[in-house]
Amino acid sequence: MTKIAVNACNGRMGQALMYAIEHTRGVTLTAPLLRSGHQWVGEPLNRQFPQLKSAQPLIDDLEQVANEVDVVIDFSLPDYSLATVKRCAKLQIPVVIGTTGFSYQQKQQLIELSDQIPMVLAPNMSVGVNLTLKVLELVAKAIGRDSDIEIIESHHRFKKDAPSGTALRMGEAIADGMGKVFSEVAAFDRCGKDAIRREGSIGFSAIRAGNIVGEHTALFAMSGEEVEITHKARDRQTFAQGAVRAAMWAAEQPVGHYDMSDVLGLDALFSNGSF
């Protein structure tokens, strides 16, 4: 039985994660974590979240229950997430991170911390998205240099970072497929009177509206034809179930930096000729 702590458990993804844990065999929620000093600390879980069955108390101190935790799942904000990972490294607890919006410096700190604990770092935990990333890399190898490439992503009106972490990861996969450096071909600020497409660039567009869970499209526009590859998430349980799967996997791994391709075994699947 894998014992899981959910950081920022009162957030949208935190609640989805706790629900997924309650409905997944082989895992149990041992630490629903809130920010230090939160007004709900000590309250029964199912009082604040009626969709859950458990009445265990909400807590704000991971160290207090470290011996009862096999792995921490974190979907929060960059600064808070990084502080949590540092705490996990100190306590030698594996961690699964779905937080997006990290700066380059923060990502480097996370990678350094993965020298101390098993860490799964992925902007999107869904099986479909991670399969899409592999497909995009293959498509980019085949037609990327003959295409104008655009990535269009849509999310709910409350999402703070743009482009989304998934959109950026799609861009990285495409750049890898073409043998290019992502930072040199990404185009985020196309606007104004001099906004003509730069040859070989990967353009990004972000939509924030309503309650869209997450939609991502990669467009490869060639002369006379276009290829679109789209992933649409209809429910946050898609991400939550993937994160729980990653947590079960991470709890059994040696120290290191991993992503969802490792969790799902996609590298081996694509490299052995199955695709």
Residue-wise pLDDT tens digits, 65-109: 999 999 999 999 999 999 999 999 999 999 999 999 899 999 999
How many helices (H) and strands (E) the chain has is answered by 10, 11
**228 in the same domain as 169:** yes
Number of domains within the chain: 2
Q: Dig out the tokens for 155 from the structure.
A: 């999310």
155 catalytic per annotation: yes
Q: pTM here?
A: 0.84
Residue 22 domain-assigned (yes or no): yes
Residue 145 domain-assigned (yes or no): yes
**86 in the same domain as 164:** no
**210 in the same domain as 261:** no
Query: Of residues 247 and 191, which shows the higher confidence score?
Result: 247
Residue 275 domain-assigned (yes or no): no
Q: What is the 3-state secondary structure of 137-190?
A: HHHHHHHHHHCEEEEEEEECCCCCCCCCHHHHHHHHHHHHHHCCCHHHHEECCC
**57 in the same domain as 27:** yes
Given the residues 155, 180, 216, 231, the one annotated as active site:
155
Residue 110 domain-assigned (yes or no): yes
Given the residues 86, 141, 159, 257, the one annotated as active site:
159
Q: Give the tens place of pLDDT for each residue, 5-60.
A: 999 999 999 999 999 999 999 999 999 999 999 999 999 999 999 999 999 999 99
CATH of the domain at 164: 3.30.360.10
CA–CA gap between residue 114 and residue 105 (Å, rounded) = 15
Query: Taking the C-alpha atoms of 154, 166, 235 and 205 in order, what is their torsion angle to the nearest 10 degrees?
Result: 0
DSSP 43: S
Domain that holds residue 190: 127-233
Residue 198 domain-assigned (yes or no): yes
Res 274 pLDDT > 60: no
Q: Give the tens place of pLDDT for each residue, 121-133.
A: 998 899 999 999 9
β-bridge partners, 32: 6
**225 in the same domain as 158:** yes
159 catalytic per annotation: yes
**148 in the same domain as 57:** no
